[in-house]
Amino acid sequence: MILTVTLNTALDITYRVPSLRAGASHRVSEVLERPGGKGVNVARVLAALGHEVTVTGFSGGPTGRVLRDRLTEVPCVTDALVPVSGATRRTVTLVDDRTGATTHLNEPGPHIAHAEWSAFQEVYEDLLPSASAVALCGSLPPGVPVGAYANLVRTARAARVPVLLDTSGAALRRGVAGRPDLLKPNTEELAELTGSHEPLRATQDARRRGAGTVVASLGADGLLAVTPEGRWRATPPAQLTGNPTGAGDAAVAGLLSALVEHRPWPERLIRATALSAATVLSPTAGDFDHAAYDRFLTTVTVTGVATAA
């Protein structure tokens, strides 16, 4: 079982409009509603790849009930969310069909009381012995300590469970000090963490700050991995147009699935890049175009070198 942690779960709502104009009224051509938050998106991709996944984090209020109902519809996913008194947030994505541009509106999430945070930590510790890997994903809801991820990383490592961290801002700065096995930032998050806008230099700096391995999302340019075993760059076959929401989450799912299958690093990066690209061609986060994924597996290129033994 792979465990994904989403402390700030969400009900993702996607509106498609023919052309988005500020200050104007719009007719929505399509509405899509899915359980979301980064770790939930990761779980849905992992499940589509055939892995058993357990989802934990927080859920509350009417929105939380809808989210949990929708999770029951996803095969291979087990709900271990912790109930809270506040309401789960909604995230709204506006997709402009004319340009392909996406606009995001993200609510902050419910305030988590001290007792609710303690209850989650107990659930997390109980789940770890059954986990082959754990992903800690997304923002921290109000009330959760800024150092929460560092503590959760240390708990996973103490249980000898490989742990991936995918977050941003202060949660990333504090979390990397917990020494996660794998850190998966994008270029903006890397620059904020290290002060460097040069991806290779920033990735190497992030490793020095505590991460065992860093895999940086370079957007349309693919992935850059700096690991104890070597350094590699994976590049998709072509520039793609579509909805990039969730592409980074799909990359996390690819990395985790290949990790638990004990694949070598070049294969991990091919899978992660192919999934990320196939997600861009899907209308909603947490889904991917399966035919495109199969095609990209044979067309993603990887360059790099392994560290000499």
Per-residue pLDDT of 8-43, as tens digits, reads: 999 988 888 888 888 888 888 888 888 999 999 999
pLDDT score, position 309: 47
Can you tell me the distance from the alpha carbon of 182 to that of 134, in angstroms, rounded to the nearest whole number? 10
CA within 13 Å, CB half, 274: 22
pLDDT score, position 131: 98
Can you tell me the distance from the alpha carbon of 141 to that of 190, in angstroms, rounded to the nearest whole number? 22
* pLDDT tens figures, 218-260: 888 889 999 999 999 999 887 766 667 778 999 999 999 999 9
To the query of whether residue 289 is one of the catalytic residues in this protein, the response is no
The pLDDT-based confidence of 308 (bands split at 50, 70, 90) is low
* Catalytic hit among 166, 205, 249, 289: 249
pTM for the model: 0.91
Can you tell me the distance from the alpha carbon of 175 to that of 138, in angstroms, rounded to the nearest whole number? 12
Q: In whole angstroms, how far apart are CA 241 and each of 22, 167, 220, 279?
A: 22, 25, 10, 11
